[in-house]
């Protein structure tokens, strides 16, 4: 599809081109206001695009009402019908589609069994916990016979702990049923964990599409690098390019080596280094960029230790070290050397607006 959607003067989606394979689990990831929900509603048929075409299973569905698209939209608040029991909610699709009585009974009870809610079949939605409601909503979608599941922040209304438990269940369920899923979220961890492919959406445009691994290891923009995983961003100028890589001069005359050779000498760039690719030590390491500095703060976060180190040019670099790999710890004020290998440096042209804006858009 190639779709544009405008709300008055605001362009919510700008020529989005996206194709999704049968049975694929796709996460659409982006900050609030990126157009994720609009995209989902257009697929569902709840909104019509101003330009462009939507195809489902090879058929053009522009103008086809939602009930004929076989794509179930699941709201963040689940939209369980409050005046119906669990059973009535789940059997809603089959009943409304006039399936035979036996089939309705069978399908509904099978699916309720599957989401482990058979015992609560006569309960009303408000009597269930958030997790149960979520399962009912899912069951209702699956029972309707839809092949496409459109999930709008499906885990957003759950508390943090439950969210982690349920997200893998969600994926397994979809895979077992052979469903095609478009899952919208703003939680990068969630997307990375469960998606076959991740679509990064920003201000109505697609920033990058790829497997979670690609997105993480080969971010195509500053925004993606910062939104997924996060990184140190350092400004500099390319001063030298050779067959092994390039040399970038940072503020204060510090120089680092990067493997990337795509930028020209003299170009202003931003170098991104993931926190976990930066190590902190007393000695310089061979084959890495080594910069000396002073420890500004030490934070212990669960399985990691995070150092903030102030370099000689007053820039800050953060490092995240797995607790199991920590050999020696350093205190605030201690002189250390930070090291990171050239091949772990991503180089981007300096953004047209400002670096801060690209990162803060998250």
Residue among 67 and 165 whose Cβ is closer to other proteins:
67
Q: Does residue 45 interact with other proteins by CB under 8 A?
A: yes
If residue 190 lies in a helix (H) or strand (E), which one and from where to where? helix 188-194
Residue of 23, 33, 66, 349 interacting with other proteins (CB under 8 A): 66
Q: Which of these segments, 136-144, 238-246, 258-266, 345-353, binds other proteins (CB under 8 A)?
A: 136-144
Residue of 85, 133, 144, 180 interacting with other proteins (CB under 8 A): 144
Q: Does residue 9 interact with other proteins by CB under 8 A?
A: no
CB of 63 to other proteins, least distance (A): 8
Closest CA to 191 of 75, 29, 21: 29
DSSP classification of residue 254: -
Two tokens at 258? 């990067």
Residue partners of 59: CB distance under 8 A and separation at least 6:
none
Q: Which of these segments, 110-118, 143-151, 295-303, 309-317, binds other proteins (CB under 8 A)?
A: 143-151
Residue of 129, 145, 159, 165 interacting with other proteins (CB under 8 A): 145
Give the separation between CA 101 and CA 25, rounded to whole angstroms: 32
Token match 């508390």: residue? 159
Instruction: Tell me how many residues contact other proteins (CB under 8 A).
Output: 33
34 and 5 Cβ atoms separated by less than 8 Å: no
**Using CB under 8 A, which residues numbered 156 to 215 contact other proteins?**
none
DSSP classification of residue 324: G
- What is the Cβ-side half-sphere exposure of residue 268, based on CA atoms within 13 angstroms? 7
Residue among 81 and 300 whose Cβ is closer to other proteins:
81
Give the separation between CA 328 and CA 62, rounded to whole angstroms: 62
Residue among 144 and 188 whose Cβ is closer to other proteins:
144
Binding characters for other proteins, 69-98, by CB under 8 A (x = yes): xxxxxxx-x-x-xxx--------xx--xx-
4 and 51 Cβ atoms separated by less than 8 Å: yes
Residue of 4, 24, 46, 196 interacting with other proteins (CB under 8 A): 46
Give the separation between CA 1 and CA 21, rounded to whole angstroms: 13
| Positive or negative: CA dihedral 177, 182, 185, 191 | positive
Q: Does residue 150 interact with other proteins by CB under 8 A?
A: yes
Longest dimension (CA), the chain: 78
Token match 């202003």: residue? 268
Q: Are strands 289-301 and 255-258 parallel, antiparallel or unpaired?
A: unpaired
Q: Does residue 8 interact with other proteins by CB under 8 A?
A: yes
Give the separation between CA 138 and CA 186, rounded to whole angstroms: 20
CB of 118 to other proteins, least distance (A): 20
Give the separation between CA 168 and CA 190, rounded to whole angstroms: 9
CB of 347 to other proteins, least distance (A): 42
Q: Does residue 7 interact with other proteins by CB under 8 A?
A: yes
Q: Does residue 118 interact with other proteins by CB under 8 A?
A: no
Residue of 44, 138, 174, 295 interacting with other proteins (CB under 8 A): 44
Q: Does residue 356 interact with other proteins by CB under 8 A?
A: no
Q: Which of these segments, 62-70, 231-239, 250-258, 335-343, binds other proteins (CB under 8 A)?
A: 62-70
Residue of 135, 140, 163, 186 interacting with other proteins (CB under 8 A): 140
Terminal alpha carbon distance of the chain: 26
Residue of 146, 201, 345, 359 interacting with other proteins (CB under 8 A): 146
| Positive or negative: CA dihedral 201, 165, 157, 136 | positive
CB of 7 to other proteins, least distance (A): 6
Query: Strand pairing partners for 304?
Result: 301, 322
Q: Which of these segments, 140-148, 235-243, 249-257, 316-324, binds other proteins (CB under 8 A)?
A: 140-148
Chain residues in the site for other proteins (CB under 8 A): 7-8, 44-48, 50, 65-67, 69-75, 77, 79, 81-83, 92-93, 96-97, 140-141, 144-146, 150
């Amino acid at each position: 599809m190639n779709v544009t959607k405008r709300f008055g003067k605001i362009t919510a989606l700008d020529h989005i081109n996206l194709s999704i394979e049968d049975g694929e689990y796709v996460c659409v990831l982006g900050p609030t206001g990126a157009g994720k929900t609009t995209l989902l509603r257009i697929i569902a048929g709840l909104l019509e695009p101003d330009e462009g075409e939507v195809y489902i299973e090879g058929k053009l569905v522009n103008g086809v009402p939602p009930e004929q698209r076989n794509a179930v939209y699941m709201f963040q608040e689940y939209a369980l019908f409050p005046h119906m029991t669990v059973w009535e909610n789940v059997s809603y699709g089959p009943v409304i589609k006039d399936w035979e009585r036996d089939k309705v009974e069978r399908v509904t009870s099978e699916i309720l069994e599957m989401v482990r809610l058979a015992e609560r079949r006569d309960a009303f939605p408000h009597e269930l916990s958030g997790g149960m409601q979520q399962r009912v909503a899912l069951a209702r979608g699956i029972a309707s016979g839809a092949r496409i599941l459109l999930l709008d922040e499906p885990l957003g209304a759950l508390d943090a702990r439950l969210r982690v438990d349920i997200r893998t269940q969600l994926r397994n369920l979809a895979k077992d049923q052979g469903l095609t899923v478009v899952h919208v979220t703003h939680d990068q961890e969630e997307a990375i964990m469960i998606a076959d492919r991740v679509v990064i959406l920003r201000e109505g445009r697609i920033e990058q599409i790829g497997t979670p691994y690609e997105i993480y290891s080969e971010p195509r923009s500053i925004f993606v690098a910062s939104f997924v995983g996060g990184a140190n961003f350092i400004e500099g100028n390319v001063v030298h390019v050779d067959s092994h890589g390039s040399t970038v001069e940072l503020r204060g005359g510090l120089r680092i080596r990067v493997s990337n050779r795509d930028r020209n000498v003299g170009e202003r760039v931003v170098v991104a280094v993931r926190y976990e690719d930066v190590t902190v030590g007393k000695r310089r390491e061979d084959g890495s960029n080594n910069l000396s500095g002073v420890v500004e703060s030490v934070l212990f976060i669960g399985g990691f230790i995070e150092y903030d180190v102030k370099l000689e040019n007053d820039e800050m670099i953060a490092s995240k070290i797995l607790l199991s790999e920590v050999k020696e710890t350093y205190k605030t004020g201690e002189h250390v050397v930070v090291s990171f290998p050239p091949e772990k440096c991503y180089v981007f042209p300096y953004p047209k607006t400002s670096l801060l804006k690209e990162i803060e858009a998250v």
